[in-house]
């Protein structure tokens, strides 16, 4: 598999390099040189998730990795289902939250961890990342127990929810978590200093495992196929998929799935009040506003960093951006949508509710709709309890960690101390 840097197309890398490097020159995103067309879609849709994903990713990545290695990585990453639930006659929910941290980021994170291990042979790697909550959990669980990979996660002491902290600071083994006496920006600044320190970087094999890594997108393609595979055959035409979007990685993966040949008629890019993309699609003007805090806080992004990949896909496929539907929901509208869904008998959370409502309002009569549910309702328990006037029980996965002791170290906001800690 060959990839090029969208900003500097002359910079070309293979799959292993793209996974290890993450980003190209000038923070440019890597993009596949060839977008294959799969001619056996019906056959693929008849397969189980893991086998089908092995076939799809095998076709994209090619023979750079031994088949056995890639197949094992996929089998180890995809250890939980992505069920499609019927919500109304023509609307279905794709539930992507049955992984260890109860959010769709488990798919991308777990495959990235496996891919990084597969392309690094016996080199020692240290993953260093700063988190304000959720990404830390997905990274910690994805890399937990992998040989030759050390993970160090920095977070601002006392500034993330106790439940979030319990979810990733109770693992131990190769996962070290550090409560920094400072805020999230301090944590990010420490990470940046570490990456700027060449001697340190080389000694411990620093890697960021960041969210724009191509391996994440490849993993996410697979659940779009899984969604269509679960639809009754007569509902597979005229399919519309609504994606709750923040950094637009999820939508990018869906568009790649369509480009491979998955029969999806159109997508809806659904956002909260951070609606740079819906406004851009309306007016042709890219005008990010300052980011605002919303109920669907994982989508509080006003400069989505995967957008250049979306545009590249449209260009490469000779699609027109006017074919991409979009829309935004305010917080009060999101609350209404959650209530409406609850009345239909489907319990959701703010991100999924936005995707549902955009779909319900834009779906035409002979279309079938799928919306993506990106997090378990209990991950947003405070909002869901208040809006729906209930007391959601904690799912077992959360409850188990909630009862375990915290294993974090505490540290002053001081790079010299962190440096020693990393070298230890």
Residues near ligand PLP (CB under 6 A) are 103, 105, 134, 244-250, 298-299, 351, 374-375
Beta strands 175-181 and 149-156 are parallel
Exposed / middle / buried, residue 53 (Cβ in 10 Å: 0-12, 13-18, 19+):
buried
Contact 344, 352 (CB under 8 A): no
**Choice between 44 and 256, CB closer to ligand PLP:** 256
Q: Which of 55, 59, 57, 58 has the alpha carbon at shortest distance from 44?
A: 55
User: Measured from the CB of residue 230, what is the shortest distance to ligand PLP in angstroms?
Assistant: 21
Classify 164 as helix, strand or coil: helix
Distance of CA 110 to the CA centre of its chain: 10
* Tokens linked to 313: 């896909």
Any idea which residue has 């910690």 for tokens? Answer: 140
User: Measured from the CB of residue 326, what is the shortest distance to ligand PLP in angstroms?
Assistant: 13
**Choice between 105 and 381, CB closer to ligand PLP:** 105
Exposed / middle / buried, residue 384 (Cβ in 10 Å: 0-12, 13-18, 19+):
buried
Other CB atoms within a 10 A radius of the CB of residue 236 amount to 17
**Choice between 71 and 135, CB closer to ligand PLP:** 135
User: Measured from the CB of residue 374, what is the shortest distance to ligand PLP in angstroms?
Assistant: 3
**Choice between 182 and 246, CB closer to ligand PLP:** 246
User: Measured from the CB of residue 193, what is the shortest distance to ligand PLP in angstroms?
Assistant: 26
Euclidean distance between CA atoms 331 and 335, whole angstroms: 6
**Choice between 95 and 165, CB closer to ligand PLP:** 95
Where would I find the beta strands (DSSP E) of 96-147?
125-130
**Choice between 95 and 134, CB closer to ligand PLP:** 134
User: Measured from the CB of residue 95, what is the shortest distance to ligand PLP in angstroms?
Assistant: 12
Any idea what DSSP says for residue 290?
P
Classify 279 as helix, strand or coil: helix
Distance of CA 315 to the CA centre of its chain: 23
User: Measured from the CB of residue 218, what is the shortest distance to ligand PLP in angstroms?
Assistant: 14
**Choice between 182 and 254, CB closer to ligand PLP:** 254
Beta strands 368-373 and 266-271 are unpaired
User: Measured from the CB of residue 250, what is the shortest distance to ligand PLP in angstroms?
Assistant: 4
Any idea what DSSP says for residue 285?
-
User: Measured from the CB of residue 251, what is the shortest distance to ligand PLP in angstroms?
Assistant: 6
**Choice between 134 and 150, CB closer to ligand PLP:** 134
């Amino acid at each position: 598999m060959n990839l090029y840097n969208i900003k500097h197309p002359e910079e070309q890398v293979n799959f292993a390099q793209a996974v290890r490097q993450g980003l190209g020159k000038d923070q440019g995103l890597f993009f596949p040189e060839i977008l294959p067309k799969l001619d056996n879609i019906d056959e693929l849709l008849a397969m189980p998730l893991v086998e089908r994903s092995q076939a799809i990713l095998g076709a994209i990545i090619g023979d750079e990795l031994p088949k056995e290695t890639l197949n094992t990585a996929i089998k180890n990453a995809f250890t939980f289902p992505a069920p499609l639930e019927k919500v109304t006659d023509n609307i279905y929910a794709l539930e992507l939250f049955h992984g260890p941290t109860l959010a769709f980021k488990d798919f991308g994170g777990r495959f990235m961890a496996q891919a990084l291990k597969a392309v690094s042979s016996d080199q020692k790697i240290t993953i260093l990342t700063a988190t304000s909550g959720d990404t830390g959990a997905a990274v910690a669980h994805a890399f937990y127990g992998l040989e030759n990979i050390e993970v160090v996660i920095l977070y601002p002491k006392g500034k993330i929810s106790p439940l979030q902290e319990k979810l990733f600071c109770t693992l131990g083994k190769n996962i070290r978590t550090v409560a920094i006496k400072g805020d999230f920006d301090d944590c990010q600044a420490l990470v940046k200093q570490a990456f700027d320190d060449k001697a340190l970087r080389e000694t411990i094999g620093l890697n960021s495992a960041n969210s724009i890594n191509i391996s994440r997108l490849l993993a996410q393609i697979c659940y779009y196929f899984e969604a269509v595979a679960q639809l009754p055959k007569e509902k597979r035409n005229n399919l519309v998929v609504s994606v709750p979007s923040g950094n637009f990685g999820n939508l990018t993966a869906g568009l790649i799935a369509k480009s491979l040949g998955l029969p999806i008629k159109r997508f809806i890019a659904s956002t909260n009040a951070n609606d740079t993309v819906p406004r851009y699609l309306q007016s042709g003007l890219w005008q990010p506003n300052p980011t605002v805090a919303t109920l669907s806080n994982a989508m509080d992004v006003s400069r989505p960093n995967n957008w250049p990949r979306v545009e590249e896909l449209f260009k490469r496929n000779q699609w027109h951006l006017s074919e991409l539907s979009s829309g935004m929901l305010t917080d009060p509208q999101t609350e209404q949508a959650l209530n409406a869904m609850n009345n239909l008998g489907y319990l959701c959370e703010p991100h999924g509710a936005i995707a549902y409502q955009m779909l319900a309002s834009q779906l035409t009569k002979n279309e079938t709709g799928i919306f993506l549910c990106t997090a378990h309702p209990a991950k947003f328990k405070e909002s869901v309890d208040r809006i729906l006037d209930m007391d959601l029980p904690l799912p077992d996965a959360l409850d188990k960690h909630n009862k375990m002791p915290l294993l974090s170290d505490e540290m002053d906001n001081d790079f010299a101390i962190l440096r020693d800690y990393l070298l230890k």
